[in-house]
Homo-oligomer: A and B are copies of this chain.
């Protein structure tokens, strides 16, 4: 099994310099390889075209983060930033890239929620729902809701539970979101995601695979909600 499907030339990586050992592994489950694989997948979903969005994994006290301005479908492990999640110091800085503006937001989420991974997309379904809903995205009585965790108690939501995702106002610069994002996370202990008005969505989970499930399930529900609105069907079913 190849370490990843991006056909990059592994032999060209010198692991003795620039802390390259942190991002080089033949194991397809290594965070640097998983992030590249998922960025390619999410590019085909339209979630991170135009270098938008981002993916990060936290593992063994380190945060692996895709850089700013990278073509997500072409990313390779050597493009990756690595941070110490305790000291917030950069353990590895790739050549030719700036750190993602999402970096402080991902670190906020890791710290407050003890998350293992964060996915940020510019999905048009997310953006449209922030234009169609006021302070919260709400939907109930859809099977796919059962993929989302309750968090305030064990287990996932049931079919007829109401899923509620808070919508945060966007700021001029992504870094400026940090304060309101932190406050929002704390005020909504039951949410595993936050929508940002006219911007996109941040989703997190205990590990990257759970975060991926939540992201896919939420995007499905956001897309469905838009279609329901087009037909004038309420997204929250009256009891």
A2–B7 alpha-carbon span in the complex (Å) = 8
Q: Does A90 interact with chain B (Cβ within 8 Å)?
A: no
| Contacting residues, chain B, for A200 (C-beta < 8 A) | 143
Complex interface bits, A208-220 against B, C-beta within 8 A gives 1, otherwise 0: 0100111011011
Of A56-64, A108-116, A178-186, A227-235, which binds chain B?
Answer: A227-235
Minimum C-beta distance from A146 to chain B (A): 8
Within 8 A of B (CB), among A27-71: 41, 46, 49-52, 69, 71
Minimum C-beta distance from A6 to chain B (A): 9
- Indicate the size class of the contact surface on chain A: 35 or more
A196–B144 alpha-carbon span in the complex (Å) = 12
Q: Does A97 interact with chain B (Cβ within 8 Å)?
A: no
Q: Does A160 interact with chain B (Cβ within 8 Å)?
A: yes
A147–B2 alpha-carbon span in the complex (Å) = 33
A199–B51 alpha-carbon span in the complex (Å) = 26
| Contacting residues, chain B, for A69 (C-beta < 8 A) | 213
Please judge, given known A-B contacts A9-B1, A71-B213, A131-B231, whether A144 and B220 are in contact too, CB under 8 Å.
Answer: no
| Contacting residues, chain B, for A213 (C-beta < 8 A) | 50-51, 69, 71
Contact B159 A171 (CB under 8 A): yes
Contact B9 A198 (CB under 8 A): no
A131: contacting residue among B5, B147, B228, CB under 8 A: B228
Minimum C-beta distance from A138 to chain B (A): 15
A229–B198 alpha-carbon span in the complex (Å) = 15
Find the B residue at minimum CB distance from A1. Answer: B9
| Contacting residues, chain B, for A212 (C-beta < 8 A) | 71
